[in-house]
Each structure stands twice: as C-alpha cells, then as structure tokens.
Homo-oligomer: A and B are copies of this chain.
Amino acid sequence: MTYCLGIITRHGLILAADSRTNAGVDHISTYQKLFNFSDTGQRVLLIATSGNLSITQAVINELNQDLELKDENLHSLPTLYDVAQYIGGKIRQIQSQERPWLEKDRIDYHSTLLLAGQVRDEAPGLFMIYSQGNFIQATPETPFLQIGETKYGKPILDRTLTYDTPLEEAAKSALLSIDSTMKSNISVGPPIDLVMYETDSLCLRHQLRLRSGDSYLAKMRQLWEISLRQAFEQMPNIEWEHIEDKDIGEEGS
C-alpha cells in the first residue's frame, strides 16, 4: 500500500508521500512516490503516485519521454487544468494497454495520482487524478486530498487543517498524518518525502526526506506521544450513569 497527501492553503502547497510498496507480505520494497517536474521560474509541478507500481512507473516514464520528444508536454501545456487532463490521458493510455493482461490474473491495476503545482500567472492548484483518468480539485472548503491508505491519517487532518493554516503548520500536520499511518499499518513506511511550496515563488525551496530512525521523526513522534498522553490525562472524568437507568438493558432476563 501507500499513503500520499496533498494540502492547499492560501499560503501554498504541501505534498507528502511514504515510500513503501508491497506485493504480498514477502515482497516489500522502497520506491519513491513523489516526483518533481518543475521548470523553475515558469511552473512548479509535483506528482505523487499510488496503486499498481508498473502502471504508475509507466505513467512517470511517459511524462518524462514527452518532455524530451513531444511538443505537448508538462512544460508546454498552458494551464494546470490542461496538465491534469494530459496526465489523465496518459493514465487512460497505459490502463488500456495493461489492464486486460492484469485483469486476466485478477491483479489490481488501479492507480491514483496527486498533482500539486502552480503555472505562472495562475493560482496554485491541487488535483486528484483517478485510475479512470478523470480528476477532482481541492477547494478552500476541502483543502486536502489523500490517496492510498487514507483512513488512519484523516482524523488528524480533520482536526488541525483549514485553508488558513500557516504553511509550516500544515507541513507538520502532514508529517503527523503519515507517521500515525505508519504506526498503525505496516504497509506504509519510510522514507517520507515532503515538499512545501510557497504561492507565487515558482520554485521549490523546502523539501525533506525523513528516513527510518531519522532524529527529527523520532523527536516528533516522542513529543506527539507525550502530548497525546497529557491531553488524555486532562480529559474530564466520565460521568457514569446509575445502573438503575440502564439504557442498554439486560437481554433475556
């Protein structure tokens, strides 16, 4: 499995991904899932991938090849919406080649991508591009999108993120969301790749790869656990009901 998430706020973008892939429990590997296709000064384009690795690698390869060989490519398309549509088209092309062969052996061929970035003279944007090639866009009301193993890390985002959250805080929120997921699900694992982009800078100044046992990750995790425990101890005591009120009753008696 995989866990990637993108965040958009009024201050910029965050994209984060783990690096674990698995095909069964006896075939666990590390693959980069966060890719930078930026053309500094002109456009920032970041892609995170989840799902069937052969499909997502093929898509990334096609995107790279087009940059070398084709006029229509990630750097030439005029808007971020056009870029999302073009990537959706690539997914459809690869899916139509590969899917019949994978489907025969009941191998999951799905793959979902996040696209985060900004094209000069446009606002930044964050898209989720589905396995079917269609896509949705994050909005101020829903400022984050997740792909892969999304549920474990969602509560922390729901409680801490809004469109007005400062960018550094949003980055911490993303790290904690991935760290919570890693703790609860072994199919998501380090290194964690994290990129923070400030609106209108048109270049990437902040990125980070946190490896297993990284001191920042260890410090963050320790502090988080202490804080949770403290929060926990401050919770008001439960006001139990008198047993006479018994709401759940007693069956069969």
- Contact (Cβ within 8 A) A160 B243: no
- Contact (Cβ within 8 A) B252 A151: no
Copy number in the complex reads 2
- Alpha-carbon gap, A5 to B194, bound state (A): 34
- Alpha-carbon gap, A233 to B155, bound state (A): 17
Asked if A27 is at the interface of the complex by the 8 Å CB criterion, the answer is no
Query: What total of chain A residues lie within 8 Å of the partner, measured CB to CB?
Result: 76
Asked if A29 is at the interface of the complex by the 8 Å CB criterion, the answer is no
Which of B175, B236, B248 makes the CB contact (< 8 A) with A238? B175
Asked if A68 is at the interface of the complex by the 8 Å CB criterion, the answer is yes
Residues of chain A at the chain B interface (Cβ within 8 Å): 32, 34-39, 60, 63-64, 67-68, 73-75, 151-156, 158-160, 168-169, 171-173, 175-176, 180-181, 183-185, 193-196, 204-209, 216, 219-220, 223-225, 227-241, 243, 246-253
> Which residue of the partner chain B has the closest CB to A61?
B251
- Contact (Cβ within 8 A) A64 B238: no
Kindly list chain B residues whose C-beta atoms are within 8 Å of the C-beta of A67. Answer: 251-253
Kindly list chain B residues whose C-beta atoms are within 8 Å of the C-beta of A225. Answer: 159
